Amino acid sequence: MQNHIKFIFLSHIIFISIGFAKALCYNNGNFTANSTYANNRYQILYSLPHNVSANTGYFSTSLGQEPNKIYAHGLCRGDVTTESCFNCINSTSQQLMEECPNQKEATLWGGEGPCLVRYGNRSISGTLVLDPAQAGYNIAKISSNMTQFDEVWEPLMERVIDRASSGSPRMKFATEEVRLTEFQNIYALMLCTPDLSQSDCGDCLKENVGNYQRCCHGYQGGYSQRPSCYLRWDLYPFYNASASPPAPPPPSLSPPPSPSSNSPPVTTNTTNANDDDNGGIEPRTVAAIVVPTVTFIAFLALTCIFLIQRRRKRYQEVENADEVESSLQFDLAMIRNATDNFSEANKLGQGGFGAVYKGTLPDGQYVAVKRLSRHSSQGEVEFKNEVLLMTKLQHRNLVRLLGFCLAGIERLLIYEFVPNLSLDHFLFDPTKRALLNWQNRYRIIGGIARGLLYLHEDSRLRIIHRDLKAGNIMLDEEMSPKISDFGMAKLFEGDQTQDDTSRVVGTYGYMAPEYAMHGHFSVKSDVYSFGVLVLEIISGQKINRFCYGEDAEDLLTCAWKNWNGGTVSNLVDPILRVGSRSEMIRCFHIALLCVQENEASRPTMASVVLMLSSSSVSLSAPLRPAFFSGTFVDSEASASTTTADKSKSESVKFTTNEASITDLVPR
């Protein structure tokens, strides 16, 4: 089974990241580079993202003359935005060309959607293709009675097949959810290429259901796909229900009782007590109808005006991008020269959205250039978001943005060069961590806290970072911290303190529970991430790997056990032989307060800065931290946000590491 699915497991919470990273390159003919067919393929796939996104998520076309004629189509899910569709088709098309460099026919369910791109040297429109079939499943087993589960799951599959297959020639797509238990629902999504007939679409989806039952029955969610159709289901809402076709109400468990034949006939009284003798309506009745109606219309109009003004204000920063562009845009040729054409020798590391390179500008100034990956999920919105936010933020504990470059498919961010790279390069390295004595670590903790306080309260913009982790803390020549990577940041307006999202982004392990499960985020979400980071700084261990006694457990589990047992010193990095033990224990105490399960119990960053700066401030007793479980599954997968790009092996892998989640719907 190919590695098309990633699973990130923590206690009772499961996230699935779909990334169909391997293209299907058919062996029915090849072409040579620079040939007419190669040029036709490039042109048709280059234009496909725009055509698919501009035509409600599906587009089929052909280009050229025989024998070099090429056919192609692209398909997006019916619940994604136009921009997401464009980005998915774009990245999938590029990946298809890279992985099938000279094959005349290929197919790929790719991107974050996923979306489908298929091309060939023969007509593919209206053709049902069932092979090859692929499937993946969740690592966790279904906890409920399987007989009861099947009685709910199988009728759900049948209903969604019927609705998807009976769709229009523009979209054969359907979603539905059904109650499994009092606290749990089943969510299902299916789609076919809309050029299929209703019967072909239904047959394809039935094959997917059967394939999933044969390979993966008993697991909590997964997918089954073929070149012509796609199925996914899970126990959490992974799709955008508001953008999906409305599902019919679920069938009743038992039909309503039929009326008895002995029952008296039902009569309807049409007499209105307020009618006058001439059949008119009294004035007070008219008033009772008209006044509430007018009031409601007025209220609705005011609400619409308020929402329009709020939306304009929210996107005002994006609309002002042209003002930023004139003063901060760098020339691509200059950046290529500065980085020696992005040479490996100048590569500083691999970030969440691509590689980072060291560069030298013509005036001798060193810079760090973040180059957005072609297959990254970050689009224009995230790119402009980071540029517009960073240009307005000035603080010694934030990395300074010098400018950007947007040319063709290249998207570059140019930052001040921070010579000591990121905190994780030192903290989790057996040799380099010795350079982080307690004095340095205490200064780093304080600097991060002050940087977050600036973002939350002191800047003229209230910003939630949403991806605070050791890899996003840069260290300058004096080992002072600078918070970086604002591509996931969220801007709050005025007195706004919290918000909800259907798109959970950030890094697993640092996510607050209310954000990971419900998409609810606030300043307290960053506080939680800060608490996790402090525990890592004190212990020198990653959040998801830590040894407690003879058993491997996560850091939060160990922290709580040692706190209750009065053995906090067990978690202190053994390298820290010199330093104030009282400061270490106090920081440990503050970290536990920051990772409380109830967000209201967590301190604000203003309180954290006060606690760190004054030992006279008393600290409340912490409760059990969020996600405390006592057990944890370990893995050695990459900790970057590009994990999906690095997992192109032949077997499905399950990971509990810090792999970032970029397009998931929360439980």
β-bridge mates for residue 230, sequence order: 191, 225
Q: Is 467 a catalytic residue?
A: yes
Least Cα distance to 555 among 428, 431, 661 occurs for: 428
In this structure, what token pair is assigned to residue 636? 């050695």
Q: What is the CA radius of gyration of the chain?
A: 28
- Judging by DSSP bridges, how do beta strands 134-137 and 115-120 pair with one another? unpaired
SS3 state at 303: helix
182 within 8 A of 227, measured Cβ to Cβ: no
Q: Which helix (H) or strand (E) holds 250?
A: none
Least Cα distance to 361 among 340, 343, 345 occurs for: 340
413 within 8 A of 386, measured Cβ to Cβ: yes
Alpha helices in 454-566 (DSSP H): 513-518, 523-539, 555-565
Task: Determine the straight-line distance between the first and last CA of the chain, rounded to whole angstroms.
Answer: 27
Least Cα distance to 190 among 136, 228, 219, 217 occurs for: 228
Residues 84, 352: Cα–Cα separation, whole Å = 18
CA 53 to chain CA centroid, nearest Å: 20
Which residues fall within 8 angstroms of residue 424, CB to CB, at 6 or more apart?
469, 470, 471, 473, 639
The catalytic position among 195, 467, 573, 645 is 467
Q: Where are the beta strands (DSSP E) in 54-153?
A: 58-63, 70-75, 106-110, 115-120, 134-137
What totals of helices (H) and strands (E) does the chain contain, helices first?
16, 28
- Residues with a catalytic annotation lie at 467
